[in-house]
Amino acid sequence: MQPLGIALIGYGGIGRVHAMAYRDLPFHYGLPADTIRLVGVATTRRETAERAAREIGCSVWTDDYRTLLGRDDVQAVDICVPNFWHEEIVSAAAQAGKHIYCEKPLAMDAAQAWRMVQAVEEAASIFASPRLCCGPGSWSTKASRASSSPSAVGITGRAISRPRSPSPGA
C-alpha cells in the first residue's frame, strides 16, 4: 500500500496538533507506520514554513500553498488556517483533485459553505473522487482522537453529502 501523502496548509496551534495526530494515527488504528506521510507544509511566511518542516520532519516547505497542490505525491490537504481563507484553499485543492480535510468552522456563512461543496462536487466529475471533510476541531486530546473513526479524520469513506434542505437562494 502506498502511503497517503498529506500537505499541511497552516502551522499555527491547530496545525501543530494535526501534525502530531498524523504521527499517532497509524499506531492508534493498527496500521503500518508508513501509512501516512507528511509531504510538506505551507505557511504565509517562508521562514516559518521552513521551521515547521524541520519540526514535523518533512522536506518540502513553501509560503504558497499552491506549490503543494501541484505535487503528485500529495493526495490530501489538511487546511489549518483561519476560516476566512478556507473557501479559496478548498476550491483550489478541489480543482487540483486533492482530498480535503478542513478544520472547523468550515465557512464564514452558509453561502460560502455551499460554494465549497459545489467546488468539490464539480471537481469530482473531473477527478477520481476528491472528498471534503470538515474537522471536529477536537484533535487536541487523546480521548477525542480515540473516539473518532478513520473516516472521521479523513482517511476513508464518503466525507461529503448534500444536505436535505435546499441551498441558499433556491
Q: Give which of 137, 134, 54, 55 is closest to 102, Cα–Cα.
A: 134
Overall average pLDDT of the 142-152 stretch: 40
pLDDT of residue 136: 60
DSSP-derived secondary structure letter, 132: E
Global pTM? 0.78
| Alpha-carbon gap, residue 22 to 127, rounded angstroms | 25
Q: Domain coordinates of the chain in residue numbers?
A: 4-153
pLDDT tier, 132 (very low <50, low <70, confident <90, very high otherwise):
confident
pLDDT tier, 127 (very low <50, low <70, confident <90, very high otherwise):
low
pLDDT of residue 63: 98
Alpha helices in the chain (DSSP H): 13-28, 46-56, 65-69, 86-95, 110-124, 142-146
For residues 36, 100, 102, 82, the Cα torsion angle rounded to the nearest 10 degrees is 100
pLDDT of residue 133: 82
pLDDT of residue 154: 40
Are the C-beta atoms of 63 and 42 separated by less than 8 Å? Answer: yes
**In this structure, CATH architecture of domain 4-153:** 3-Layer(aba) Sandwich (3.40)
